[in-house]
């Protein structure tokens, strides 16, 4: 605050407003936090209907050309694949069979041999793409997969762009649905080799998913986008003995196609991953859409829109996106939905033009979808092979058909329906002159046809985060209420800056410790302990040890003498949380949102355990209890288990699960891992430190 000597000086209005807000920080933070949570709960109501933003797409404007003839051909392939299954050795045969079928269509065929690499923790590779050169050291030569690539060239096109179709196929345990997924794509592909309207080349990738769907697709993409010259030969001759080529590779060589001839088309415009599962909803043919890629990136909303539009309005499929099922039966949500519905009715009675409320059932459904959308974006792990495309800025989506008609044995009907949908989507993308850019990239889905755009879902986050700097400022300004009598003259300056520096140092050291904690799993992986529980125990022990060491070395002293210390520390913590959350919201918004929900109330509430004699015991006790609850809830493992328990039930939870979860996070290069170890955990530790602060 300005020195007291010049009280007559006029403050500028913005400063006055700031001072006003800061002086009412408690009220402001309570209001902001509550309204933040309320705004989050209102998101399903504020969701808008999706619309096709890019006019060039024109979905469904042409009649599908796919005929029974194409489906008949595809059915032949399905039967041939099923026949192969009964034969003893079929791993290589599937590739050759599919390749034969493709080359009979007059399309180009290529093979792509890849060595799947296990996902490794690369501490310094977080936001960069894995470099293919360095990865080839840890390759197992006996394990390799073979992708088949078919390319239909656009007859009059210039070959600058391409649309990718991906069909993951596991030849080792394939069943009817896998064969059908190949048949489905084949029927589309066979049509596309003959049509004249193609402007973009079509690449069909039959991904060998013996070692995972994602790894085969990403291996192909890596060789497509950033091949390494001069390395493949070394790999083949040195590390993997060229003489002992398995039989099926030799087969490929003899059928006239060079295996090392990597087929290419132009820049990828979009990609569709086609899958068929046997799990199905009763009585309806369902289409599941998966869109989340790594770090919460989504494909352009237009891509989802065309799929949804064509599936619902042209093919009569029931489109679904993922939901958190347990939320559907949650009591509190039902009550909330009813309340919101009545509020909506009241609003409509006031003015019929206010379309505020939505039916309770729709609200519950929307919330469950929104929650899952938030959760999967926050995890930062791609929900399918489409995630590999997003790493190269290609819009991709996974279409998972779960046909009911299969149960009744009507394969052809399903094939016709499914392939007409894919044909329609490809036709739309083919119409597109520019790349996808018109519609949203940042959105949350509340149903396949409704979305919340970035402009709306930013509001709850901003409301949640806004109290942090206000509270920090107010605490900092009010130190003197807590501190010794330094209100007179020059003495005020130095102790304040000293305490400030101490607090900043503390925050920095704890964050540094967080960085060390984030690197520890790399060492633990090198040591190779068997059970995840063991790993977790070692990780936590090492972390604690590091913390103690750091404290000893850098001279952090816990014996606080000044009363003001914890206040300054809290203020510094709040600023750190604010900066951390804002940074994270740029990288992965959903993580920041969930993190804010957990951290913000804790940081605002945190107070030393020592009983304040000025207040009543009830107040003291409730504050202590709240602090404890919030603190324990915000501890990453606890919040993980609570979430797991809420979603899947509490039985059968293993401590090791947390380790597995964290492992999956870093294996997928998820920024959520960095957030947890470098922002969330240090801030939690700082809060713990404040809680245990003894005066």
Which residues would be at the binding site for other proteins (CB under 8 A)? 6-11, 16, 19-20, 23-24, 69, 73, 104-106, 129, 153, 155-161, 194-196, 225-227, 229-230, 232-233, 258, 261, 264, 266-267, 350-353, 391-393, 433-435, 437
Q: What is the Cα Rg of the chain in Å?
A: 29
Task: Compare residues 153 and 623 and give the one whose CB is closer to other proteins.
Answer: 153
CB of 201 to other proteins, least distance (A): 10
CB of 25 to other proteins, least distance (A): 12
Task: Compare residues 198 and 503 and give the one whose CB is closer to other proteins.
Answer: 198
Where are the extended beta strands (E) located within 120-253? 145-152, 161-169, 201-208
Task: Compare residues 157 and 636 and give the one whose CB is closer to other proteins.
Answer: 157
Long-range contacts of range 82-89, CB-CB < 8 Å, 24 or more positions apart? 82/176, 82/179, 85/174, 85/175, 85/179
Residues paired with 399 in a beta bridge: 274, 289
Task: Compare residues 70 and 213 and give the one whose CB is closer to other proteins.
Answer: 70
How many CA atoms lie within 13 Å of 481's alpha carbon, on the beta-carbon side?
6
CB of 122 to other proteins, least distance (A): 18
Task: Compare residues 390 and 689 and give the one whose CB is closer to other proteins.
Answer: 390
Kindly state the DSSP code that residue 129 receives in the 8-state scheme.
P
CA torsion through residues 580, 583, 589, 591, sign: negative
CB of 623 to other proteins, least distance (A): 25
Distance (Å, whole) CA 41 – CA 57: 34
CB of 513 to other proteins, least distance (A): 33
Task: Compare residues 395 and 502 and give the one whose CB is closer to other proteins.
Answer: 395
> Judging by DSSP bridges, how do beta strands 286-290 and 201-208 pair with one another?
unpaired
CB of 583 to other proteins, least distance (A): 20
Distance (Å, whole) CA 590 – CA 668: 17
Residue 501 CB contacts under 8 Å (≥ 6 apart), including other chains? none
Task: Compare residues 245 and 257 and give the one whose CB is closer to other proteins.
Answer: 257
How many CA atoms lie within 13 Å of 248's alpha carbon, on the beta-carbon side?
16
Task: Compare residues 405 and 438 and give the one whose CB is closer to other proteins.
Answer: 438
Scan for tokens 């750091």, then name that residue.
550
Kindly state the DSSP code that residue 481 receives in the 8-state scheme.
H
Distance (Å, whole) CA 276 – CA 418: 10
CB of 434 to other proteins, least distance (A): 4
Closest CA to 390 of 441, 426, 424, 454: 441
Cβ atoms of residues 598 and 634 within 8 Å:
yes
CB of 337 to other proteins, least distance (A): 26
């Amino acid at each position: 605050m300005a020195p007291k000597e010049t009280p007559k000086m006029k403050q500028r209005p913005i400063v006055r407003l700031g001072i006003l807000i800061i002086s009412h920080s408690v009220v402001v933070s309570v209001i902001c936090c509550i309204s933040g949570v309320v705004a989050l709960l209102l998101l399903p109501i504020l969701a808008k209907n999706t619309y096709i933003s890019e006019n060039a797409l024109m979905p469904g404007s042409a009649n599908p050309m796919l005929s029974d003839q194409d489906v008949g051909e595809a059915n032949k392939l399905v039967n041939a694949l099923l026949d192969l299954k009964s034969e003893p050795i079929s791993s290589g045969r599937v590739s050759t069979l599919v390749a034969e079928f493709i080359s009979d269509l007059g399309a180009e065929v290529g093979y792509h041999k890849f060595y799947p690499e296990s996902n490794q923790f690369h501490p310094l590779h977080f936001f960069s793409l894995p470099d293919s050169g360095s990865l080839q050291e840890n390759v197992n030569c006996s394990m390799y997969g073979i992708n088949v690539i078919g390319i239909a060239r656009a007859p009059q096109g210039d070959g600058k762009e391409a649309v990718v179709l991906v069909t993951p196929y596991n030849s080792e345990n394939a069943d009817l649905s896998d064969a059908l997924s190949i048949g489905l794509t084949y029927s589309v592909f066979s049509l596309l080799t003959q049509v004249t309207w193609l402007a973009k080349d079509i690449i069909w990738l039959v991904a060998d998913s013996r070692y995972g769907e994602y790894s085969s697709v990403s291996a192909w993409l890596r060789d497509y986008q950033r091949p390494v010259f001069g390395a493949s030969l070394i790999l083949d001759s040195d590390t993997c003995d060229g003489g002992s080529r398995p039989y099926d590779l030799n087969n490929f060589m003899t059928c006239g196609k060079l295996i090392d001839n990597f087929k290419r088309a132009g820049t990828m415009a979009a990609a569709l991953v086609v899958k068929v599962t046997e799990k199905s909803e009763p009585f309806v043919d369902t289409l599941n859409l998966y869109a989340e890629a790594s770090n919460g990136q989504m494909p352009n909303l237009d891509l989802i829109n065309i799929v949804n539009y064509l599936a619902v309005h042209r093919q009569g499929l029931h489109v679904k996106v993922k939901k958190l099922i347990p939320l559907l039966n949650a009591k509190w949500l039902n009550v909330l939905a009813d309340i919101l519905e009545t509020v909506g009715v009241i609003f409509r009675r006031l003015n019929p033009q206010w379309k505020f409320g939505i039916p309770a059932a729709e609200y519950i459904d929307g919330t469950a979808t929104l929650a899952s959308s938030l959760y999967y974006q926050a995890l930062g792990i791609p929900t399918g092979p489409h995630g590999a495309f997003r790493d190269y800025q290609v819009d991709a989506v996974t279409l998972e058909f779960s046909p009911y008609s299969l149960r009744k044995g009507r394969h052809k009907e399903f094939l016709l329906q499914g392939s007409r949908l894919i044909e329609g989507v490809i036709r739309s993308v083919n119409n597109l002159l520019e790349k996808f850019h018109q519609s949203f990239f940042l959105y949350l889905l509340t149903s396949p046809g409704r979305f919340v755009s970035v402009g709306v879902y930013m509001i709850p986050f901003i409301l949640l985060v806004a109290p942090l700097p206000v509270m920090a400022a107010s605490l900092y300004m009010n130190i003197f209420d807590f501190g010794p009598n330094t209100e007179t003259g020059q003495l005020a300056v130095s102790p304040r800056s000293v305490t400030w520096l101490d607090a900043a140092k503390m925050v920095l050291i704890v964050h540094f410790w967080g960085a060390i904690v984030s690197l520890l799993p790399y060492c633990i992986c090198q040591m190779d302990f068997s059970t995840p529980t063991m790993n977790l125990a070692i990780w936590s022990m090492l972390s604690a040890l590091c913390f103690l060491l750091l404290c000893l070395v850098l001279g952090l002293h816990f014996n606080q003498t000044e009363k003001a210390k914890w206040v300054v520390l809290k203020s510094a913590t709040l600023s750190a949380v604010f900066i951390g959350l804002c940074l994270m919201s740029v990288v992965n918004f959903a993580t920041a949102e969930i993190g804010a929900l957990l951290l913000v109330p804790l940081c605002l509430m945190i107070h030393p355990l020592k009983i304040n004699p000025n207040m009543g015991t009830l107040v003291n006790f409730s504050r202590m209890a709240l602090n404890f609850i919030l603190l324990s809830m915000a501890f990453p493992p606890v919040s993980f288990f609570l979430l797991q328990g809420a979603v899947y039930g509490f039985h059968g939870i293993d401590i090791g699960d947390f380790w597995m979860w964290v492992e999956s996070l870093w294996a997928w290069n998820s920024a959520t891992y960095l957030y947890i170890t470098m922002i969330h955990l240090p801030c939690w530790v700082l809060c713990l430190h404040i809680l245990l602060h003894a005066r």
